[in-house]
Structure 1
């Protein structure tokens, strides 16, 4: 093996390790380039009126927004931390989840469509939780997992006729892409990416680190 080939192989291993440790990044060549819109939003905002809120405190003191990909291992790894934080701070902090399917993940957009279709029946949080709970069962698959996600919809008691129609509706994909466009315009390059009160932050590496950050902001 030539020195150049050895160096390229070593670099690939390092990049792959970083991807697993910190999430997914746009530097990877997409399998389906249409999974990320090419046009960022002209009036980008970290959160919009129709964004999916995981908590709705009567008096919100802080807003934490996550741009996520349901197939991203980094998002799956940070999910328990987000759940723990919103259980602890849900009466003071608004937690928001926004779609950002990444290129290179075969089922990232499919998963987002499943969640948005569930949301049309008030099942956003249920499907959101289901996909993260089962991520190891379907993540990184090369074949479509749309049929599997449909079984999840059935398990959650959703009306399957309405679910199927929503998955196929152009408006559902448009809703997912609207989040992506905001993310692109705001500089999101990988998942998970968090914004705290509109400011992008470096994702804390632990629950304790994230809790300290929230506590410091709430103390202001």
Structure 2
């Protein structure tokens, strides 16, 4: 092998190594306000007893879990599909939402804390829906949107003293971290990531594709 070829090969290996390292930095390095710093869970599960279920069929035939980031544009884009599917299959399929705030989004953890605080008052779904419905108004902002999320909470009729206390409580952040720990151990590296009956899948590109996947699993 010529010296030139050896140098080119060494350079390629170096670039690849740096790319992997940089990708890991983007995923795990703290950026923005209140980033989640989580270690992979040792006993990871796609669904836990305290996971937030968007549907609760009496006899669930299938479970679809989404690890999501409320600031993620991809999650916002797939949200209408999830809503349509759970309206259609909610009596047969258990749809579960789990937190996975990405470090590159300044308000992703802040949003997750707001939703979890609302969940403490039985309004998980209401705040979950509100943040996706308004994502274009606050997503990608560099400044904290905690005040805006608080206004949303007030608009939903939440007890604001309880909400404020919950947002600040270490247990609320820990609840978000617990979801992310499971996600990391299960191979989640970006959002949205879906699991169907415990198996990670490639996110279907359209509603029709997702519907076909669900129909194929229900027919087994």
- Asked if structure 2 preserves the Cα contact closer than 8 Å seen for 1:64 and 1:95, the reply is yes
Q: What corresponds to 1:138 in structure 2?
A: 138
Aligned residues: 196
**CA deviation after TM superposition for structure 1 residue 39, in Å:** 1.4
DSSP 3-state at the match of 2:64 = strand
Residue 155 of structure 1 pairs with residue 149 of structure 2: no
Query: CA offsets, 1:89-141, max 9 Å, x none?
Result: 00000000000000110000000000000000000000000000000000000
TM-score by length of 1: 0.86
Aligned equivalents of 2:33 and 2:163: distance in 1? 26
Aligned equivalents of 2:102 and 2:136: distance in 1? 17
Which 5+ residue runs of structure 1 have no aligned equivalent? 1-24
Aligned equivalents of 1:147 and 1:55: distance in 2? 30
DSSP 3-state at the match of 1:63 = strand
Q: What corresponds to 2:72 in structure 1?
A: 72
Aligned equivalents of 1:187 and 1:62: distance in 2? 21
Aligned equivalents of 2:190 and 2:200: distance in 1? 12
Q: Which has the larger radius of gyration?
A: 2
Q: What corresponds to 1:28 in structure 2?
A: 26
Aligned equivalents of 2:117 and 2:202: distance in 1? 31
Aligned equivalents of 1:121 and 1:196: distance in 2? 28
Q: What corresponds to 2:101 in structure 1?
A: 101
DSSP 3-state at the match of 1:35 = coil
TM-score by length of 2: 0.86
Aligned equivalents of 2:152 and 2:159: distance in 1? 12
Q: What corresponds to 1:194 in structure 2?
A: 194
Give the RMSD, CA atoms, in angstroms: 1.4
Q: What corresponds to 1:56 in structure 2?
A: 56
**CA deviation after TM superposition for structure 1 residue 28, in Å:** 2.9
Which 5+ residue runs of structure 2 have no aligned equivalent? 1-22
Residue 128 of structure 1 pairs with residue 128 of structure 2: yes
**CA deviation after TM superposition for structure 1 residue 67, in Å:** 0.0
DSSP 3-state at the match of 1:180 = helix
Aligned equivalents of 1:170 and 1:216: distance in 2? 42
- Asked if structure 2 preserves the Cα contact closer than 8 Å seen for 1:26 and 1:102, the reply is no
Q: CA 1:34 to 1:123, structure 2 compared with 1: closer, same or farther past 3 Å?
A: closer
Aligned equivalents of 2:145 and 2:183: distance in 1? 25
